[in-house]
Amino acid sequence: MSIALAVLAFSAVLFAWFCLFKVIPDSLMAMFRFRLGKQRDELAVEIHNGAFSNREPAEQVVQDIDGFIELAPQISPLHIGLMRVSEVGIPEPEGEHIRLGELLPEERERLEARMRKIQQLLADHALLETPSGWLTLLIAVPVALVVVLFRRLSDRAYAGTLVGGLRRRFSEGASELACREHLV
């Protein structure tokens, strides 16, 4: 009986591990690719309908989205961090930027809004939909909370000594005007 229970417990742990690190990330990856594909298709329809006076910047955004869809498995904080470290000291290639200045102002705003939405999708995917993103948040959020807490405590301690010093001066007979000058 105990062997069967041990096998069952091991199977349950293995199943949970498989779901957590294979099934759920793969499902989230498929949803991410779907959301990117939807953005790409909507932009392609706008281009086809003549919504842009100069199609080149919008077509470049469509190509970038296609690249993000293809590289979706590599979009994680770990891969992005390694890529950034490997690029140190390498100059950025010329002509890689999307030339939004060639568009009319309303077209530029519409394309910038689309690009912001795509950037938000990428950030959400990297941090919320990948195991390394989960680990990053698991470490970064408590560290950020501790830093904020220490800053708040040190600010209060400084403010407390400032107020205490002013109270002592005022109670020792200093004029109210002198205290006001000290604050300024």
- The CA-atom distances, in angstroms, between 41 and each of 37, 45, 68, 89, 180 are 6, 6, 14, 36, 64
Residues 44 and 119 in one domain: yes
Residue 40: Cβ within 10 Å count:
20
Number of domains in the chain: 2
Burial class (CB in 10 A: 0-12, 13-18, 19+), 131: middle
Residue 48: Cβ within 10 Å count:
9
For tokens 């890689």, what's the residue? 96
| pLDDT of amino acid 139 | 93
Report the distance separating Cα 122 and Cα 116, nearest Å: 10
Q: In the chain, which stretches have pLDDT less than 70? A: 94-96, 156-184
Tokens for 105, please give them: 């102002």
- Asked, for residue 135, whether it belongs to a domain, the answer is no
Report the distance separating Cα 124 and Cα 71, nearest Å: 15
Residues 121 and 53 in one domain: yes
Residues 77 and 57 in one domain: yes
Tokens for 110, please give them: 């519409």
Domain that holds residue 147: 140-184
Is residue 104 within 8 Å of 53, Cβ to Cβ?
Answer: yes
| pLDDT of amino acid 168 | 58
115 contacts: CB under 8 Å, gap ≥ 6:
61, 98
Residues 46 and 112 in one domain: yes
Residues 150 and 70 in one domain: no
135-164: per-residue pLDDT in tens? Answer: 999 999 999 999 988 888 877 655 555 555
Residues 148 and 124 in one domain: no
Q: Which of 60, 55, 48, 78 is nearest to 118 (CA)?
A: 60
